[in-house]
Amino acid sequence: MKIAYYIVTGLMAAFMAFSAIPDILLIKEAVDVMNHLGYPPYLLPFLGVAKLLGVIGVLQPWFPRLREWAYAGLAIDVIGAFYSHVSSGDPLPMTLGPIIALVLIFGSYILYRRVFTAKVG
C-alpha cells in the first residue's frame, strides 16, 4: 500500500509541477488557453506558483494539516480547470488533463489517509 502511495503521489506531483511551469513562465500556449477560457493572462503565474506550493505542501512530511490543505487546493484548482473547459464548450479531449489530475490527486489522498492516518486498535 505504501509503494502504491509513493507511485501515485509521485505521478501526481510531477503532473502538477510540470503543468505549473508553463503558467509561471507565461508560455504562449498557456496564455492562449487562458484567453480562450476568458481569463486574464496575469492570473497564470499566480496559479502556477500556487500549484507548485501545493505540490510542496503534499510532499513535505512535517505538517499533516498543511498536507490536507494542499490536497484541497490542488483539487480546487483542477476542478476549476475542468469546469472552465466544459463551460467554454471545449470537447472532451480538452478536459482530460484536469480529469487525470483529479484522479491522481484523489488517489494520492486516499492512499495517504489509508497508509499514514490509519487508526490502530
73-87: per-residue pLDDT in tens? Answer: 999 999 999 999 999
pTM of structure: 0.91
* 29-48 mean pLDDT: 96
- DSSP class of residue 91? -
Quick one: pLDDT at residue 119?
A: 62
C-alpha cell of residue 106: 484523489
Please identify which residue in the block is written with the cell numbers 493572462.
Answer: 41
Contact (CB, 8 A) for 8 and 104: yes
Rounded to whole angstroms, how far apart are CA atoms 88 and 69?
Answer: 28
